Amino acid sequence: MKTQSTPFRFLSKPTILCTLCLGMILPVALAAKSQDEPKKGPIQVSMRSKLEATSKVLEGLALEDKELIHEGAEALTAISKSEVWQVLRDTEYREHTQSFRNAIRRLDEAAQKSEFASAQLEWLSANKSCFDCHNHIRATRK
């Protein structure tokens, strides 16, 4: 009896069959998954950028790294001045935004003076203004 000389001769028929099935099913499953994921709008993209900048600030505070804090603070300030940030036009929303910007400015100033305990407190203040603003937006949109 002569054996076949194929590159897959070391694989069993069930293994080859399973591999072929996976090769056909996997692309279909991945395409279906990508269709199920919601498209990210400009607000979601902006908030993701905000999270990335906050990670820099938090890491900078943990390491007492002035430059990292400054990079994150600059990014947060720029994001807060972007058009997509202007979700509401009421007075309370503007106050939350101003509170956030002031806390970020004070955070950066404290970090640049190596006053990291003060910078940490300003970071808490900035985070509180984020929560307050998000709560206001949710309440307004109900």
Query: Is residue 5 in some structural domain?
Result: no
Query: Is residue 1 in some structural domain?
Result: no
Domain that holds residue 97: 43-141
Task: Report pLDDT for 75.
Answer: 97
The 8-class DSSP code of residue 37 comes to S
CB atoms within 10 A of CB 123: 25
Query: Is residue 29 in some structural domain?
Result: no
Task: Report pLDDT for 45.
Answer: 87
Query: Is residue 15 in some structural domain?
Result: no
Query: Is residue 106 in some structural domain?
Result: yes
Using CA atoms, how far apart are residues 101 and 87, in angstroms rounded to an integer? 16
Query: Is residue 22 in some structural domain?
Result: no
Query: Is residue 135 in some structural domain?
Result: yes
Nearest alpha-carbon partner for 74 in 41, 109, 47, 48: 109
Please tell me the total count of domains within the chain.
1
The residue type at 48? R
DSSP assignment string, 68-136: HHHHHHHHHHHHHTSGGG----SHHHHHHHHHHHHHHHHHHHHHHTT-HHHHHHHHHHHHHHHHHHHHH
Using CA atoms, how far apart are residues 135 and 142, in angstroms rounded to an integer? 11
Cα-based angle 54, 56, 57 (whole degrees, multiple of 5): 65
Mind listing the pLDDT tens digit of every residue in the chain (142 residues)?
555 555 555 556 665 555 555 555 555 555 555 555 567 788 888 889 999 999 999 999 999 999 999 999 999 999 999 988 888 999 999 999 999 999 999 999 999 999 999 999 999 999 999 999 999 999 998 8
Using CA atoms, how far apart are residues 137 and 40, in angstroms rounded to an integer? 19
Query: Is residue 11 in some structural domain?
Result: no
- Please indicate, yes or no, whether the overall pTM of this predicted structure exceeds 0.85: no
Task: Report pLDDT for 132.
Answer: 96
Task: Look up the CATH number of the domain holding residue 104.
Answer: 1.20.120.10
